[in-house]
Homo-oligomer: A and B are copies of this chain.
Amino acid sequence: MVTRALPYRPHNHQACVNQALDDARHICQQHNARLTPTRQRVLELIWQSHRPLGAYDVLAQLAAEGQNAAPPTVYRALDFLQQHGLVHRIASLNAFVGCAHPGKPHTGMFLICHQCGNVLELSAPAVSEAVRAAADRESFRTDEVTLEISGVCPRCQAEPADD
């Protein structure tokens, strides 16, 4: 298992980006999918930090770079990246974040710090198991799980809390 940096701790983030791009190239090759320049650029923009980015934020940055971009440009790229498990959509924020465990099957659980905005994606088998069990008990067939925890990360808890 690859150890990943904690989003809210200072770290060599360029390593995160490089890893994400490597993973993406790998996965797209496996899937016979094309990581076109736009798709790759959107992925890079999403990975510029561990904070979820809105589609229109991505759009603004693409436009600033002189790219001919309209909303569908971004949404298509994001759809593609989601489909191949490279980014996740955070429903409670209407925003997108890079997947921390691409390739591995996982049901994401997101710890969202509403102070610093960073998101940590956990894979918590015990939680997934409990969710599955609860759904089973109702004879409910689970297709997708949205699990987003909003709160305060350790780093922000320690800080003076300016607001």
Contacts and interface: CB of A to CB of B under 8 A. Distances in A.
Interface of A: 91-92, 109, 111, 113-114, 120, 122, 124, 126-127, 129-131, 133-135, 138-154, 157
Given A138-B120, A140-B154, A149 B126 contact: no
A152 B140 CA distance: 6
A114 B148 CA distance: 20
A134 B127 contact: yes
A91 B148 contact: yes
A127 B131 contact: yes
Contact of A124 (B111, B130, B144, B145): B130
A155 to B, nearest CB: 9
Contacts of A151: 135, 140-144
A141 B120 CA distance: 13
A145 B135 contact: no
Given A92-B146, A120-B138, A130-B130, 5 more contacts: A124-B134, A131-B147, A141-B151, A141-B157, A143-B150
